């Protein structure tokens, strides 16, 4: 565990300048201790932005985290919600170096205080050793330095947190302790999470109320994965093949690979109807489907998603996102980003059958967010630490145990039931689910499909909003989408607080 001198937080005062005026705010970057049996076991790093001159009982507070699992909160922190953001090109594509950070005119700080949480193993959040209690008392603590091999006991203990249940409890414990420490129990409380963070939000809608006594006014799920069975299809799970088709169709329109005058969103809507009413019934027939019917449906699918008919036929209408990303622009020797199909890169191996390049929407953005968050934390906010900021930890991802004991019988992990229970427990809870229409990894139609299957009570259905935008997984990197989303969020918070 780092020595205090090598992990010193800080509280600073700043001024956010937007087209609507200037707003002074306080930034506090700190570590908060987690306990087991009253003993310190871990420290979660977080950054809180607050407005000092407003009544805490009236001022909303939003706890924010990203996903992965293994991703730090820097993506939402520096991409959309925080008072400073990294600059992308207007269409969300990557700019040339160096990194630029500017005041964020669409920061949510204008209508809510913000607390960005880095789960254990991400950001500056670290496990304490098993002797941490003694070390804390004596201040004789071993420093963690970049490149050092972690202590075995700390590593093994950290893995306890890399499970669905322990991760959720860590966030619940953090939120409960933060509300107590900062006297915010009477504030309107919101949670927001992206990708696997959206999965966390759905489950916390239930757990925060049942186990931690935290009532929520609102929950925001950003590009969420809510049911893992829909992430990819196989020979026996057909829904995964269908739910990604609308995103493929929208992406094909964006790249001019479909003969249509429809917008990407409108074409995606037609593809959704086709997937539900035509593709799934055919795939469900398996080998009993008539050859003529297969040829007809696969031809329609090829026209909708812009792929050659022979490619669709070869894959029997089951188009993996990696196949789509490689084949759509093969004639240009370009590949698509999986997290944002509108983004392309040169295919480094166009003559090989399998794609062996990197994803331009995953590895490509690391340089932007790594530079932005390190500059912001260390220079602007004055955080003093030798720790490496773990933007995206594949160690955490690879070690993650996705199946809690309660889900073993199902064989997959999901969160929609928890969201349904959370909304039933609190009929005032407002839920907002949003995606980018070119996201192939967590496609927007998956959430549409799940909401349609939830069978919410008529009293609760108006409390759930679905809204999707131009862009990919991080649609907020598109200037126009970020502005539209900001306007939506202002209305959402007003509705959720009744003010």
Interval 104-147: pLDDT, tens: 999 999 999 999 999 999 999 998 865 444 434 433 333 444 43
Which pLDDT band holds residue 93 (cuts at 50, 70, 90)?
Answer: confident
Which pLDDT band holds residue 358 (cuts at 50, 70, 90)?
Answer: low
Which pLDDT band holds residue 20 (cuts at 50, 70, 90)?
Answer: confident
The pLDDT assigned to 5 comes to 45
Whether 35 has a pLDDT exceeding 50, the answer reads yes
Which pLDDT band holds residue 479 (cuts at 50, 70, 90)?
Answer: very high
- Looking up tokens 């009744």, which residue turns up? 498
The pLDDT assigned to 135 comes to 39
CA-based radius of gyration for the chain: 23
Choice between 412 and 255, residue whose per-residue pLDDT is larger: 255
Q: What is the pLDDT of residues 418-466, one digit of tens each?
A: 999 999 999 999 999 999 999 999 999 999 999 999 989 999 999 999 9
Whether 391 has a pLDDT exceeding 80, the answer reads yes
Q: Which residues contact 291 (CB under 8 A, 6 or more apart)?
A: none
- 472 within 8 A of 438, measured Cβ to Cβ: yes
Whether 83 has a pLDDT exceeding 60, the answer reads yes
The pLDDT assigned to 338 comes to 93
Distance of CA 263 to the CA centre of its chain: 26
The pLDDT assigned to 173 comes to 97
pTM recorded for the entire structure: 0.91
The pLDDT assigned to 151 comes to 42
Most confident of 238-242, 360-364, 431-435: 431-435
The pLDDT assigned to 156 comes to 58
Whether 365 has a pLDDT exceeding 90, the answer reads no
Q: How large is the average pLDDT for residues 279-300?
A: 95
Q: How large is the average pLDDT for residues 209-238?
A: 91
Average pLDDT, the chain: 89
Q: Of 19, 3, 10, whose CA–CA distance to 486 is shortest?
A: 19
Question: CA-CA-CA-CA torsion for 67, 487, 49, 126, nearest 10 degrees?
Answer: 0
The first and second tokens of residue 349, run together, are: 């191996």
Whether 235 has a pLDDT exceeding 90, the answer reads no
The pLDDT assigned to 153 comes to 44
The pLDDT assigned to 193 comes to 98
Q: How large is the average pLDDT for residues 362-389?
A: 91
Query: Greatest CA span in the chain, whole angstroms?
Result: 78
Choice between 17 and 83, residue whose per-residue pLDDT is larger: 83
The first and second tokens of residue 389, run together, are: 């900021």
The pLDDT assigned to 493 comes to 98
The pLDDT assigned to 155 comes to 52
Whether 256 has a pLDDT exceeding 70, the answer reads yes
Whether 357 has a pLDDT exceeding 60, the answer reads no
Q: How many other β-carbons are positioned within 10 Å of the β-carbon of residue 129?
A: 21
**Spatial separation of the C-alpha atoms in residues 482 and 274, rounded to whole Å:** 30
Cα of first residue to Cα of last residue in the chain, in angstroms, is 44
Whether 168 has a pLDDT exceeding 50, the answer reads yes
Whether 348 has a pLDDT exceeding 90, the answer reads no
Whether omega before 98 lies within 30 degrees of 0, making that bond cis, reads: yes
């Amino acid at each position: 565990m780092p020595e205090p001198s090598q992990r010193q937080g800080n509280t600073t005062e700043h001024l956010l300048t937007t087209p609507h005026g200037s707003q002074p705010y306080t930034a506090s970057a700190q570590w908060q201790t987690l306990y087991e049996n009253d003993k310190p076991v871990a420290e979660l790093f977080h950054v809180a932005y607050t407005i000092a001159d407003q009544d805490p009982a009236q001022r909303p507070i939003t706890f924010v985290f990203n996903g992965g699992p293994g991703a730090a909160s820097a993506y939402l922190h520096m991409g959309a919600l925080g008072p400073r953001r990294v600059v992308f090109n207007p269409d969300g594509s990557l700019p040339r170096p160096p990194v630029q950070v500017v005041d964020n005119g669409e920061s949510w700080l204008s209508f809510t205080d913000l607390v960005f949480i880095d789960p254990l193993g991400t950001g500056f959040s670290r496990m304490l050793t098993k002797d941490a209690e003694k070390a804390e008392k004596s201040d004789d603590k071993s420093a963690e330095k970049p490149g050092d091999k972690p202590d075995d006991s700390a590593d093994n203990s950290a893995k306890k947190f890399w499970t669905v249940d322990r991760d959720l409890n860590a966030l619940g414990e953090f939120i409960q302790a933060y509300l107590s420490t900062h006297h915010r129990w009477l504030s309107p409380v919101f949670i927001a999470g992206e990708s696997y963070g959206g999965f966390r939000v759905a489950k916390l809608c239930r757990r925060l109320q049942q186990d931690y006594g935290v009532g929520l006014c609102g929950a925001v799920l950003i590009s969420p994965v809510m049911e893992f069975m829909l992430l990819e299809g196989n020979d026996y799970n057909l829904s995964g093949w269908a739910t990604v088709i609308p995103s493929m169709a929208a992406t094909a329109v964006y790249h001019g690979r479909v003969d249509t005058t429809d917008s990407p969103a409108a074409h995606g809507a037609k593809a959704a109807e086709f997937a539900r009413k035509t593709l799934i019934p055919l795939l469900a027939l398996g080998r009993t489907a008539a050859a003529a019917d297969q040829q007809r449906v696969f031809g329609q699918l090829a026209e909708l998603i812009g792929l050659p008919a022979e490619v669709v036929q070869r894959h029997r209408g089951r188009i993996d996102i990696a196949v789509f990303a490689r084949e759509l622009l093969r004639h240009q020797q370009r590949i698509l980003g999986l997290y944002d199909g509108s983004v392309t890169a040169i295919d480094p191996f166009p003559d090989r059958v399998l794609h062996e390049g990197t994803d331009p929407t995953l590895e490509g953005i690391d340089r932007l967010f790594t530079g932005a968050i390190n500059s912001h934390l260390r220079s602007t906010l004055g955080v003093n630490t030798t720790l490496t900021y773990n933007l995206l930890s594949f160690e955490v991802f690879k070690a993650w145990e996705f199946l809690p004991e309660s889900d073993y019988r199902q064989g997959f992990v999901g969160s929609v039931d928890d969201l349904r229970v959370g909304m039933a427990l609190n009929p005032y809870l407002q839920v907002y689910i949003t995606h980018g229409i070119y996201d192939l990894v967590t496609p927007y139609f998956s959430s549409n499909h799940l909401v349609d299957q939830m069978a919410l009570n008529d009293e609760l259905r108006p409390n759930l909003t679905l809204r999707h935008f131009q862009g990919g997984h991080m649609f907020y990197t598109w200037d126009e989408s970020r502005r539209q989303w900001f306007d939506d969020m202002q209305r959402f918070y007003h509705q959720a607080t009744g003010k």
